[in-house]
């Protein structure tokens, strides 16, 4: 390790920062999209209307049975076929992540909804609120409050998974690190640096989750 | 006002209600009592359709609760209900608990809803607590808020499902006082409770249930003076002499 040269990192910092921005941006959008779609899937699943809940259950089970990388490929090749024009790596990856993560989020959200006391629903019904009003004003706000730690945990996993977008030639943080490593011939430095960056972000995330859990129990 | 005719209900093969019939007239207060598991809470939840029945009919004013085509949400908005475990919305202030139904169901403006909420919270003696959240209140205070929340909808009748049985003894009276006042104001009330003092004071009739059946349905004085059935006598001796 005598010739461990850190200047390669500093020299390429703007390029690396661009990659990290893409990773974080993709993570953020995929979390938001995944939670919105996941909420609808969870509500469909719990609606008690057979076609809706079967469709949602089928979707969730299908997505959870295939590797993420395959879903990314699907959307990269299938969406342009369906639309008749290419939409680019970023949008196809974003759609793939949203669709994929929604399946996982919907299971978390379903558990969160079921954790809200049945009496709360009855209280809403007794007031004359409709099914959707009860979900919107009574159940979901309480469910999300209970779920925030586990939603953040899923977000950390999602952040790590964004490194897979190299398969559709997107320049995320992992990809740009590899590019620098190979073009500068500094493999050890770059891969150690990438590991540290991922570790710091994810560990900060899990500390945040622990803080949320503590705040919830007190 | 409330007409219950020969209703029966099963959970799977287990019969929880067997051929129950009773009436609550406008302005009347009816107390429903009986040992636990006798079906009294189920009976009262059938009145606003929270629990479906398999046989028989329930009518509230002109609405057939048990008919398939009945708009239950509209009916429920006209009947107030108070639960054993309060069921206040924990993520909303007392004020918002009272405003939600008024605004979303009755379509009142925020100003109207606010004014009504303040008036009712004052009536149950909690105006200084109106901006607090349910978790910051005692059980008795929460139940008083829950009564206020039900009244905010201007109900034509009120249902109480064991409103004091989850409360510490020292808080029971503050809730009963609100209910007594409501009864004296002429509210139509159906109350599942073990509080026989309350029943004596304001109930017009007492319905005694056992094993899913209505065993006695008599004017309050007769019920306490001389219950017909052995089971009611037994129940009263247990609940009154301890």
pLDDT in tens, B60-85: 998 899 888 888 999 999 999 999 99
In this complex, do B77 and A138 lie within 8 Å of one another by their Cβ atoms? no
pLDDT given for residue B242 in this prediction: 54
Whether pLDDT at B223 is above 80: yes
Give the helix ranges, DSSP H, for B124-168: 139-151
* DSSP secondary structure, B52-114, as one string: --SEEEEEETTEETTSTT--HHHHHHHEEEE-TT----TTS-HHHHHHHHHHHTS---HHHHH
Q: How far is CA B187 from the centre of its chain?
A: 12
Q: Quick check: A216 contacting B, CB < 8 Å?
A: no
Question: Do A125 and B79 make contact, defined as CB atoms within 8 angstroms?
Answer: no
Q: Do B100 and A142 touch (CB under 8 A)?
A: no
Q: Give the model's pLDDT for residue A217.
A: 63
Instruction: Encode pLDDT of B149-170 as tens digits.
Output: 999 999 999 999 999 999 999 9
> B203: buried, middle or exposed (CB in 10 Å: 19+, 13-18, 0-12)?
buried
Using the predicted structure, report yes or no on whether residue B241 has a pLDDT greater than 70.
Answer: no
Q: Residue A10, Cβ neighbours under 10 Å: how many?
A: 9
User: Given B45, B90, B153, which is nearest A127 (Cβ)?
Assistant: B153
Of the partner residues B76, B90, B91, the one whose CB lies closest to the CB of residue A127: B76
Contact A126 B89 (CB under 8 A): no
Picking from B221, B184, B186, the residue whose alpha carbon sits closest to that of residue B200 is B221
Mean pLDDT on A51-59: 95
pTM of the shown model: 0.85
pLDDT for the residue B170? 92
Does the structure show a pLDDT above 90 at A127? yes
Give A-chain residues touching B153 at CB under 8 angstroms.
127-128
Q: Which residue of B has its CA nearest to A120?
A: B87
Helix (H) or strand (E) holding A37: helix A13-46
Q: Is the pLDDT of residue A1 over 80?
A: no
Q: Please, are residues B83 and B38 in contact by the beta-carbon 8 Å criterion?
A: no
Residue A218 has pLDDT above 60, yes or no: no
In chain A, the domains with their CATH numbers are 21-170 (1.10.3720.10)
What's the confidence (pLDDT) of residue A159?
94
Average pLDDT on B163-192 reads: 95
Pairwise CB contact (< 8 Å): B100 & A127: yes
Q: Is the pLDDT of residue A79 over 90?
A: no
Q: Is A115 on the interface with B (CB under 8 A)?
A: no
Of B45, B85, B105, the CB nearest to A127: B105
The pLDDT value given to residue A54: 96
**Res A2: pLDDT:** 52
């Amino acid at each position: 390790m005598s010739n461990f040269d850190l200047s390669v990192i500093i020299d390429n910092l703007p390029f690396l920062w661009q990659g990290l921005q893409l990773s974080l941006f993709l993570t953020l959008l995929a979390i938001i999209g995944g939670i919105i779609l996941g909420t609808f899937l969870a509500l469909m699943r719990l609606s008690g209307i057979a076609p809706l809940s079967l469709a949602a259950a089928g979707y969730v089970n299908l997505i959870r049975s295939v590797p993420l990388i395959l879903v990314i490929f699907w959307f990269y090749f299938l969406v342009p076929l369906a639309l008749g024009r290419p939409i680019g790596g970023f949008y196809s990856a974003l759609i793939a992540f949203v669709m994929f993560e929604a399946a996982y989020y919907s299971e978390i959200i379903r558990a969160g909804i079921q954790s809200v006391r049945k009496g709360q629903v009855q209280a809403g019904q007794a007031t004359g609120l409709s099914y959707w009003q009860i979900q919107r004003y009574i159940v979901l706000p309480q469910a999300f409050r209970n779920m925030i730690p586990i939603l953040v945990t899923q977000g950390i996993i999602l952040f790590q998974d964004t490194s897979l977008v190299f398969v559709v030639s997107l320049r995320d943080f992992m990809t740009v690190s590899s590019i620098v490593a190979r073009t500068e011939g500094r493999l050890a430095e770059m891969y150690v640096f990438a590991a540290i960056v991922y570790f710091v972000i994810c560990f900060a995330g899990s500390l945040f989750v622990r803080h949320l859990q503590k705040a919830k129990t007190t | 006002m409330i007409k219950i005719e020969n209703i029966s209900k099963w959970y799977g093969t287990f019969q929880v209600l067997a051929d129950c019939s009773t009436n609550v007239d406008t302005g009347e207060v009816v107390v429903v009592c009986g040992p636990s598991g006798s079906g009294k809470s189920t009976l009262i939840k059938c009145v606003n359709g929270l629990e479906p029945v398999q046989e028989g009919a329930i009518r509230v004013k002109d609405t057939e609760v048990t008919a398939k085509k009945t708009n239950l949400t509209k009916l429920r908005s006209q009947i107030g209900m108070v639960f054993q475990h309060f069921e206040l919305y924990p993520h909303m202030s007392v004020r918002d608990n009272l405003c939600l139904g008024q605004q979303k169901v009755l379509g009142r403006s925020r100003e109207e809803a606010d004014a009504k909420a303040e008036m009712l919270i004052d009536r149950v003696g909690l105006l200084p607590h109106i901006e607090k959240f349910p978790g910051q209140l005692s059980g008795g205070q929460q139940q008083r808020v829950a009564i206020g929340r039900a009244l905010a909808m201007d109900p034509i009748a009120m249902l109480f499902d064991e409103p004091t049985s989850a409360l510490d003894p020292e808080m029971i009276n503050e809730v009963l006082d609100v209910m007594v006042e409501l009864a004296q104001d002429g509210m139509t009330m159906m109350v599942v409770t073990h509080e026989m003092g309350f029943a004596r004071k304001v109930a017009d009739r007492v319905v005694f249930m056992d094993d899913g059946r209505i065993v006695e349905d008599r004017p309050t004085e007769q019920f306490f003076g001389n219950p017909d059935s052995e089971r009611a006598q037994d129940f009263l001796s247990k609940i009154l002499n301890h």
